[in-house]
Structure 1
Amino acid sequence: MEEESKLEERLVLVKEEGDEELDLKKRVWEETKKIWKVAFPGMLSRATNFGMLIITQAVIGHVSALELAAFALVQSLTVRFVNGIQIGMSSATETLCGQAFGAGQHHMMGIYLQRSWIINLITVTLLMPLFIFSSPIFIGLGQEKDVSIATETISIWLIPVVYLFVFALTIQMYLQAQLKNMIVAWLSLVSFIVHILFSWLFVFKLDFGIPGALGSLILSNFVMVLGEFVYIWCGGCPLSWKGFTWDAFSQLWPVIKLSVSSGIMLCLEIWYNSILILIAGYMKNATVAIAAFSICLNVSVWELMICLGFLGAACVRIANELGRGNAKTIKFSIKVNLATSVIFGLVFFTICLVFGNKIGYLFTSDEDVVNMVSELSILLAITMLSNSIQPVLTGIAVGAGLQSVVAIINLVCYYVIGIPIGLLLGFCTDLQVRGVWIGMICGTITQIICLSIMICRTNWDDQVEKTSQRLSRWFKPDDS
């Protein structure tokens, strides 16, 4: 009898373990579906949006080597500088809309969106001198005179694109927070195809040259933004869009503070790469160094755009669950999201190692540039892997509204650690551009470690309480 009782106990334990394993698999599967519902459209839209810049660079590279270096300089420094501010400030929209959606305050999402438009449009307008006076700015920074002069025309053409980014980025965050960003993905894909067709027509058939390539970029971005507005105005978001309202001009200061901290957080990260491009301009054979480094960074950023889908998923999942008050679900979602993103990073890491010596030919036929890109391929692969981890950690912080803490971490890791190491290795050794990039990787890895420690030590029950207080303080009744 005693042996039968022990056998029954063992059978019960085995059954309970089996049930727990099945329950865990079910939970992982359910969370994975929720992540991919946000991540896949985000990947598609971000990859195609950035892909339009890549296509433009590739087309310009086959027109003129000088114009390629000029576009690389403007795109990697000025556009990335301003775009970094926009992406950062737009992440405040993602935080506020995600938490409002989770709390069921749907009508507040449209108000937050309009407040972001006001703040971002004013900010971009204040930054326009960077485009208007790009040539003297680059000359003053010590860049090659011919390249700096060539940036003037390119910068003026890119001004409409930067203004269109204001609406494209904020609307994407707004739709993503309510799990409706698939429309953004399809519009981005259509715009990408339109851009390829217009680039081929304007540059290679009609021989419009550089204006044709940049004009195609403007038209394709306009198509995407117009489609987003049509979707919202024609009833795509009946719960969250109640039309334009004067409430958008009220309580701007709290949104400004969150937008500024968000902007600083992401700009410090995006400017980091831009500063390294600037440093490359002081290396030996600067034109080749800038072109090669820019190509590698653009490939890296293109992969980062895909991994930013996981950033969006992490942000939306954390923000939604904070709005609902589910601290336990937040912790589980973080683990699943990180594991999924790292798998993607390993895939890109392997691809880059295998095809690293062929990447340069996609952008230019200049053998010197292609050879330098090949030399940088190992560092590119390492960057690809880190790109799969860092965005998820940032997304968790954005979803929780911890941008100000991350801004401090980025400042220290990138500008106190990464850039000094890059300068030391780039100018005091024979590594040159490779040394600069090694410094960049050191800063990124340090940031990943710091963010991981911060997230592990975060009390999510406290964050739930803070989110509830914030939503209550900014709430306005729905008058419709």
Structure 2
Amino acid sequence: MAASGGGGEEALREALLLAPPAGDGNGNGKVEKQVEDLEEIRSVRAFLRHAAEENRRLWSLAGPAIFTSIAQYSMGAITLVFAGHLSTLELDAISTENNVIAGLALGLTMGMGSALETLCGQAYGAKQLHMLGVYLQRSWIILNALAVLMLPLYLFAAPVLRFFHQDAEIAALASRFALYMIPQLFAYACNFPIQKYLQAQGKVMAMAVVSAVALVFHVALSWLLVGPMGMGVVGLAVALNASWWFVVLGQLAYILMGYCPGAWNGFDWLAFSDLYGFARLSVGSAVMTCLEFWFYMFLIVIVGNLENAQVAVAAVSICTNLFGWQIMVFFGFNAAISVRVSNELGAGRPRAAKFAILVVLMSSVAIGLAFFAAILALRDVYGAPFTESPEVVRAVARLGVVFAFSLLLNSVQPVLSGVAVGAGWQWLVAYVNLGCYYLIGIPVGYLIAFPLRGGVTGMWGGMLSGVGLQTLILVAITMRTNWDREASEAHSRIQKWGGSAAVKALGE
């Protein structure tokens, strides 16, 4: 199409940009009428009716997403259980590789894959189903390029680990295990885009089923390779790689078998267009996610410099282990609200997006209060199953209050991060995280822990100031947001990274 066309040509261009593709996305050959926005709620009864319906939608997304997160988190945990039956050295080395090398790769690939939560969710809400497959392929290109750039981290893991003052023997074995785990790196790069693509369409049950089968497969294969076949560390690496690729191929088979009608039309050269803008949003997602992940890694590193560091690190490790399981629950809420907000904004329903945020916050705060009360009630005993040291149990008990507040704040924070992803605010939240966590939280915690001699409780409590401030800022941003404008920007985003490429391709 020529850029100088007249009014008829401009109308045709606008129609191509604004309308969904021919058909309703399910092959029915018709265009669905846009669903009306949520009606104004004028009574308590109406509020409760709409809240019940919204809760049903949220839990239909959050429930399978929570199970998927726990199942995939458990594959690494089960590998560590088998490693612990080999020797302490194998356990330490595999744990180090899993937390440092693979942990960095996980954070980056999961973060960059989160861009699809914004784009696929908004395109799905706008009935631009044909663009979901294109976005998926663009993300594969970007994340696999990132995986190639991260290869030196795996190839030269030993000097990296020694730089962080790891034991030489542990670093050597962890480095060898990292070489075996390179296939997992590329599985991450393929898996997270597929998950966001399926989440945007509400295909979360398929993800849960594949993850459940993969978890059973992983347990059986790990036992076979480590037990009867006696393959040791190599067997654990083969089992973990195979299990992650089982997840990828199982989900991909679901897509290729036609269970995502209209959203997958085969490989498309449009995947190579508009990569810069797509990559920028992906990097923003990665920065936002990694700044959150690394915040609690800094807690353990700094606590290691306190007096009686072994007890302090053990106590914090127990709490962060429990924190990891809790956060899997709220990852489900994160995914659910991201899908709901992006779908509603893409469909031009800003009032429904706001209502979804209110309902999910009510649910997550209720669960957070339950965790908060449970930790305070069990503060003297919840550390006992993890250690036989009375000193460590007492140290864990002293952390009970700050740990309980951490769980409460982190019942809200992942939800607000999910709202940010659904609305496309990744870079804004990345700046908020940088300021609150690293310019306020860590310095305040360090000040209380060392000059004021507040110890590990002071360190964690001070860092909570950053989490609390971040939560307040995200609440304020969410409350002050003009959601009508966000719906308009979602529409523009679909034009920029979807429709514009389609118009250009048709013009050629």
Q: 1:382, CA displacement in angstroms? A: 2.7
Distance 1:377 1:41 in 2: 30
Q: Determine the structure 2 residue equivalent to 1:9.
A: none
Report whether the alignment pairs 1:224 with 2:247.
yes
Change in 2 beyond 3 A, CA 1:292/1:210: farther
Report whether the alignment pairs 1:309 with 2:332.
yes
Report whether the alignment pairs 1:446 with 2:474.
no
Change in 2 beyond 3 A, CA 1:299/1:159: farther
Aligned pairs (5 A) from 1:180-191: 180-191=203-214
Change in 2 beyond 3 A, CA 1:418/1:121: same
1:273 pairs, out of 296, 299, 306, with 296
Q: Determine the structure 2 residue equivalent to 1:40.
A: 63
Q: 1:447, CA displacement in angstroms? A: 1.0
Aligned-residue sequence identity (percent) comes to 40
Letter in 2 for 1:331: K
Letter in 2 for 1:393: L
- Once the two structures are superposed, residues 136-161 of structure 1 have per-residue CA deviations (whole angstroms, 9 ceiling, x without a partner) of 22222334444434432333333322
Report whether the alignment pairs 1:323 with 2:366.
no
Distance 1:56 1:367 in 2: 28
Aligned pairs (5 A) from 1:52-201: 52-201=75-224
Distance 1:179 1:350 in 2: 33
Report whether the alignment pairs 1:346 with 2:369.
yes
- The answer on whether the counterparts of 1:47 and 1:303 sit within 8 Å (CA) in structure 2 is no
- The answer on whether the counterparts of 1:360 and 1:373 sit within 8 Å (CA) in structure 2 is yes
Q: 1:300, CA displacement in angstroms? A: 1.0
Q: 1:288, CA displacement in angstroms? A: 6.1
Distance 1:180 1:114 in 2: 18
Moved more, 161-170 or 285-294: 285-294
- Equivalent residue of 1:124, what SS? helix
Matched pairs, number: 463
Change in 2 beyond 3 A, CA 1:393/1:19: closer
Distance 2:396 2:470 in 1: 26
- Once the two structures are superposed, residues 59-91 of structure 1 have per-residue CA deviations (whole angstroms, 9 ceiling, x without a partner) of 434544444444443333333322221121111
Q: 1:281, CA displacement in angstroms? A: 4.2
Distance 2:369 2:180 in 1: 38
- The answer on whether the counterparts of 1:55 and 1:196 sit within 8 Å (CA) in structure 2 is yes
Aligned pairs (5 A) from 1:453-464: 453-464=476-487
Change in 2 beyond 3 A, CA 1:458/1:467: same
Q: 1:129, CA displacement in angstroms? A: 1.9
Distance 1:106 1:382 in 2: 42
- The answer on whether the counterparts of 1:134 and 1:151 sit within 8 Å (CA) in structure 2 is yes
Q: Which runs of 5 or more structure 2 residues have no equivalent in the other structure?
A: 1-40
Change in 2 beyond 3 A, CA 1:354/1:223: farther
- The answer on whether the counterparts of 1:164 and 1:222 sit within 8 Å (CA) in structure 2 is yes
- The answer on whether the counterparts of 1:99 and 1:320 sit within 8 Å (CA) in structure 2 is yes
Distance 2:171 2:306 in 1: 16
Q: 1:53, CA displacement in angstroms? A: 1.9
Q: 1:301, CA displacement in angstroms? A: 1.9
Q: 1:31, CA displacement in angstroms? A: 0.8
Aligned pairs (5 A) from 1:233-252: 233-252=256-275
Change in 2 beyond 3 A, CA 1:121/1:36: same
Aligned pairs (5 A) from 1:278-427: 278-283=301-306, 290=313, 293-353=316-376, 376-427=399-450
Distance 1:82 1:98 in 2: 24
Q: Determine the structure 2 residue equivalent to 1:3.
A: none
Change in 2 beyond 3 A, CA 1:71/1:422: farther
Letter in 2 for 1:234: M
- Equivalent residue of 2:43, what SS? helix
Letter in 1 for 2:129: H
Distance 1:355 1:195 in 2: 33
TM-score normalised according to structure 1 size: 0.88
Q: 1:421, CA displacement in angstroms? A: 2.4
Q: Determine the structure 1 residue equivalent to 2:37.
A: none
Distance 2:238 2:380 in 1: 32
- The answer on whether the counterparts of 1:98 and 1:319 sit within 8 Å (CA) in structure 2 is yes
Moved more, 259-268 or 58-67: 58-67
Q: 1:369, CA displacement in angstroms? A: 6.4
Moved more, 244-253 or 150-159: 150-159
- Once the two structures are superposed, residues 158-196 of structure 1 have per-residue CA deviations (whole angstroms, 9 ceiling, x without a partner) of 332222112221111000101112100111122222223
Distance 2:220 2:387 in 1: 20
Letter in 2 for 1:344: I
Change in 2 beyond 3 A, CA 1:306/1:400: same
- Equivalent residue of 1:325, what SS? coil
Report whether the alignment pairs 1:29 with 2:46.
no
Distance 2:312 2:90 in 1: 15
Letter in 2 for 1:464: A
Change in 2 beyond 3 A, CA 1:363/1:221: farther
Q: 1:430, CA displacement in angstroms? A: 5.0
Q: 1:214, CA displacement in angstroms? A: 3.6
Distance 2:117 2:159 in 1: 36
Letter in 2 for 1:29: A
Change in 2 beyond 3 A, CA 1:77/1:372: farther
Distance 2:459 2:56 in 1: 40
Change in 2 beyond 3 A, CA 1:273/1:160: farther
Letter in 2 for 1:337: V
Distance 1:52 1:237 in 2: 27
Q: 1:134, CA displacement in angstroms? A: 2.2
- Equivalent residue of 2:262, what SS? coil
Q: 1:440, CA displacement in angstroms? A: 3.3
Change in 2 beyond 3 A, CA 1:371/1:120: farther
RMSD: 2.8
Identify the structure with the greater helix proportion: 1
Distance 1:451 1:85 in 2: 22
Moved more, 345-354 or 183-192: 345-354
- Equivalent residue of 1:266, what SS? helix
Q: 1:261, CA displacement in angstroms? A: 1.2
Letter in 1 for 2:260: C
Q: Which runs of 5 or more structure 1 residues have no equivalent in the other structure?
A: 1-17
